[in-house]
Amino acid sequence: MFHDRARIFVEGGRGGDGAVSFRREAHVPRGGPDGGDGGRGGDVVLLADPSRRDLASMRISSHHRAGKGGHGEGANRHGARGDDRVVQVPPGTSVEGLNGEYFDLVEPGQRAIVATGGLGGHGNKRFTSSTRQAPRFAERGLNGDSGWIELHLRLLADAGLVGLPNAGKSSLLGRITRAAPKVADYPFTTLEPVLGTIDDGERQLVLADIPGLIEGAADGAGLGHEFLAHVERCRVLVHLLELGPGTDPDAAYATVRAELAAYGHGLAELPEIVVLSKRDLLPPEDAELELEMWRETHPSRLQALSVSSATGAGIDELVAAIFREVARADERADGGIAPEGPAYETEHRVYRPRGSGGFEVVMVEDGVFAVEGRGVEMLVERHDLGNYEAIGYLERRLREIGVIKALRDAGFEPGDEVRIGEQAFDLDPGDG
């Protein structure tokens, strides 16, 4: 089964703790602090790997955690950085990441960091000053980013074969490429997209056989609605209409066009090559008449073609038309200059604002105040509130950045409870 969607949990590695250490050497009775810093946690990285076909592996293993950073040690030895967790995904994967980030991995080798590792804590060596020559506290490492992210795979194909079930898409793909799709005389033979390539000696193009669309596909009917997204990256549509006794190409065309328009995302505006398939089921003169009638009744569309996958009639003309229309699409996308290779999107990131970089004081109830703000929360998270020296340093830092004044302005009195992040403690800042 083809899996083009997945939801996975990613977690960056926790940063290592800083060390509290003092030099101990012969003939140095009062060695100074020499605690090293903790290492940064590893990142969770998505890597576009062309050997990957779909997102099935994401369903088997849905939790991905990076390595933790090493703790600092004495003699100013810093902890090692945590190992990255590299998750391989097929090219064409788009990612709805944490905090509103968006990534698009379309070319092999592209990488995206979806969960950043936490920062390592500073060792006590960092906190020495003229008035604090022997600090007995250090910072703790921070947790990495974590949460659930959504992955969506959209195939990277130059042209997509669309049409109703049994229109002949699989037979055509097998005829003009080296693909080996399943072909049978019943609806929904193709249960997942199939890719094939065509080569004219100078350039290679990728064709995708999209499972047949039926009326209501855009709203979830049939199988085709699962794969309409894969048409989004195509630059040209090859729309197959079945010829033969009892068929109605006009009605079939209207059905598929309506579903493309209903799905949106610009599918209805893509260049289109109309192909009347299975011409071998009609006498040659009737097949030619059907083609002429189609061209007369649909003059605004691209010139229609008539082919037979069984006999090979019209196949060369169709292949030439596909190369021609893809080249024209490249020229339009590139301002009139055709690129040497496929013009894929580059990886990009979109950020949504997370609020101001400051903090806000909220009175939760009488005698209880909450300070909200990522910077302040990280400051408290780094320190051991059971360490007297750490508490004193934290109070001084809160005073410097204006938190103490904001608490007083909100009605805070010495001894009231303060909540910052997941920590709750009493604060008596005095009059300093």
- Identify the CATH number of the domain in which residue 321 sits: 3.40.50.300
Rounded to whole angstroms, the Cα distance separating 275 from 269 reads 18
Q: How many domains does the chain have?
A: 3
Per residue in 391-428, pLDDT tens? Answer: 889 888 888 889 988 988 888 888 888 999 888 887 76
Same domain, residue pair 138 and 172: no
Domain end point (choices 138, 153, 168): 153
**Is the domain of 180 the same as that of 140?**
no
The C-alpha atoms of residue 427 and residue 424 are separated, in whole angstroms, by 10
**Can you name the residues that pair with 275 across neighbouring β-strands?**
240, 305
Structure tokens that stand for 15 in this block: 């940063």
The enclosing H or E element of 423 equals strand 423-426
pLDDT band at 356 (very low <50, low <70, confident <90, very high): very low
Domain identity same for 412 and 280: no
Torsion angle, CA of 411/417/421/422, rounded to 10 degrees? -160
Residues 136 and 185 in one domain: no
Say if residues 94 and 102 touch (Cβ distance below 8 Å). Answer: yes
Q: Characterize the bridge pairing of strands 368-372 and 360-365.
A: antiparallel
Per the structure block, which two tokens stand in for 376?
């302040």
Assign 364 to helix, strand or coil: strand
From residue 396, alpha-carbon distances to 361, 369, 389, 401, 432 in Å are 18, 18, 11, 9, 9
- Mean pLDDT calculated for residue range 32-55: 91
340 falls within a domain: no
Percent of the chain exceeding pLDDT 90 equals: 28
Question: Does residue 79 form part of some domain?
Answer: yes
In a domain, 432, yes or no: no
Whether 47 has a pLDDT exceeding 90, the answer reads yes
**Whether 311 and 380 share a structural domain:** no
Condensed to tens digits (0 to 9), the pLDDT of residues 287-339 reads 888 888 888 888 766 678 888 888 888 899 999 999 998 888 888 766 544 34
195, 127, 110: which is closest to 157 by C-alpha?
A: 195
> Do 400 and 263 belong to one domain?
no
| CATH number of the domain encompassing residue 103 | 2.70.210.12
Span 170-202, pLDDT tens digits: 888 888 875 444 444 444 444 456 777 788 777
Same domain, 195 and 96: no
User: Domain boundary at 153, 183, 198, which?
Assistant: 153
**Confidence class of residue 215 from pLDDT cuts 50, 70 and 90?**
low
What pLDDT shows up at residue 222? 44
- Asked if 120 and 172 sit in the same domain, the reply is no
Cβ atoms of 239 and 302 closer than 8 Å: no
Look at residue 301 in the predicted model and tell me its pLDDT.
61
Q: Which helix (H) or strand (E) holds 104?
A: strand 102-105
Q: How many beta carbons lie within 10 A of that of residue 208, not counting itself?
A: 25
Give the residue-averaged pLDDT of 119-138: 91
How far, in whole angstroms, is CA 24 from its chain's centroid?
Answer: 51
- Tell me the C-alpha distance between 65 and 10, whole Å: 6
Per-residue pLDDT at 120: 95
Specify the pLDDT at position 67: 97
Question: pLDDT at position 197, please?
Answer: 77
What is d(CA 62, CA 7) in angstroms, rounded to the nearest whole number? 7
Is the same domain home to 94 and 177? no
DSSP state of 268: G
Please write the tens of the pLDDT for every residue from 237-295: 899 988 877 788 888 888 888 888 887 778 888 888 999 988 888 888 888 888 888 88
Same domain for 127 and 177?
no
Indicate if the pLDDT at residue 352 is higher than 70. Answer: no
> Structure tokens of 309?
């996958």
User: What is the domain extent for residue 328?
Assistant: 159-333
For 144-155, how does the pLDDT look when each residue is reduced to its tens digit (9 = 90+)?
Answer: 999 999 998 877
Find the mean pLDDT for residues 18-38.
Answer: 84
Which residue, chain included where needed, has tokens 């999107």? 345
H and E: helices and strands count for the chain: 8, 18
